[in-house]
């Protein structure tokens, strides 16, 4: 082997080692952090996830479009006399991307599941399917991660209230539970076996109250008025909920 070939081999190997170290070090730092302050923002496309993420990030209403990448950033939020740093992770609702939420569960303090309350009467099955995947996740169940259902877009005339949305989801989740074979081992995205938890109580109609997780339903609206001024409803309660999870 010539000196030139040796140098090329050595440099290539060094670059490879550096890249491997960078990737594994980043993942280790992310998941070994003892302080859990992560909040996952999940839901179907166009439900308002990125609008809510941007509101937390900038405290103003910004125009957004359907995300094709994960928005992942630590920001400082303030409510009354409380200041906290939170790690906000907005996962796109695209079916090919949204399963990545499971990677962030080890640092997750709470989940914001965003629902378009003006479309839930039409897409309730798709909403329930994604929600089912979240609820039967081992980490969500075992860590009893609190879940806030953000019933968004309540300013739209055909939207329905949070009580009706809760009823719809409970019925649909029960049907999904009955059609799923939880007795069989499932595979995760890496091909490894994982055992899903059973949703609710065996032999009883499903109710959110049967879950070990703290469940909250809240109504919000992020829009603009005729004179282009922001009209934001429910954000004080939203902010308070996040703060409360960090204080526990």
Closest of 33, 64, 37, 35 to residue 48, by C-alpha: 64
State both tokens at 218: 């809240």
Q: Are 61 and 224 in contact (CB under 8 A)?
A: yes
Q: In angstroms, what CA-CA distances link 107 with 21, 27, 31, 93, 151?
A: 21, 12, 6, 20, 24
- Please give the CATH architecture assigned to the domain spanning 38-186+196-247: 3-Layer(aba) Sandwich (3.40)
Of 86, 46, 41, nearest in space to 67 by CA: 46
pLDDT by 10s per residue, the chain, length 248: 565 554 555 556 554 564 444 444 444 444 444 468 999 999 999 999 988 988 888 876 666 666 678 999 998 888 777 788 999 999 999 999 999 999 999 999 999 999 999 999 999 999 999 999 999 999 999 999 999 999 999 989 999 999 999 999 999 999 999 888 544 445 555 444 455 788 999 889 999 999 999 999 999 988 754 444 445 666 788 888 999 998 87
Q: What share of the chain is helix, strand, coil (3-state, %, to 5)?
A: 40, 25, 35
| Exposed / middle / buried, residue 159 (Cβ in 10 Å: 0-12, 13-18, 19+) | buried
pTM of the model: 0.78
């Amino acid at each position: 082997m010539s000196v030139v070939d040796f140098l090329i081999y050595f440099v290539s190997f060094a670059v490879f080692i550096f890249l491997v170290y960078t990737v594994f070090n980043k993942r280790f730092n992310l998941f070994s952090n003892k302080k859990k302050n992560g909040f996952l923002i999940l839901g179907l496309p166009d439900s308002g996830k990125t609008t809510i993420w941007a509101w937390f990030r900038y405290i103003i209403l910004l125009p957004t479009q359907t995300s094709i990448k994960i928005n992942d950033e630590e920001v400082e939020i303030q409510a009354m006399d409380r200041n906290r740093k939170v790690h906000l992770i907005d996962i796109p609702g695209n079916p090919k991307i949204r399963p990545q939420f499971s990677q962030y569960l080890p640092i997750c303090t709470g989940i914001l599941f965003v629902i378009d309350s003006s479309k839930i009467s039409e897409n309730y099955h798709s909403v329930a399917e994604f929600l089912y995947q979240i609820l039967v996740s081992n980490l969500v169940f075992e860590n009893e991660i609190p879940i806030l259902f953000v019933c968004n877009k309540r300013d739209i005339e055909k939207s329905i209230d949070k009580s009706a949305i809760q009823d719809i989801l409970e019925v649909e989740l029960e049907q999904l539970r009955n059609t799923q074979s939880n007795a069989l081992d499932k595979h995760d995205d890496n091909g490894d076996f994982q055992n899903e938890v059973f949703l609710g109580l065996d032999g009883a109609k499903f109710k959110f109250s049967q879950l070990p997780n703290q469940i909250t339903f809240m109504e919000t609206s992020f829009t603009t008025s005729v004179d282009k001024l922001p009209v934001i409803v429910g954000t004080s309660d939203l902010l308070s909920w996040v703060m409360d999870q960090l204080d526990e």
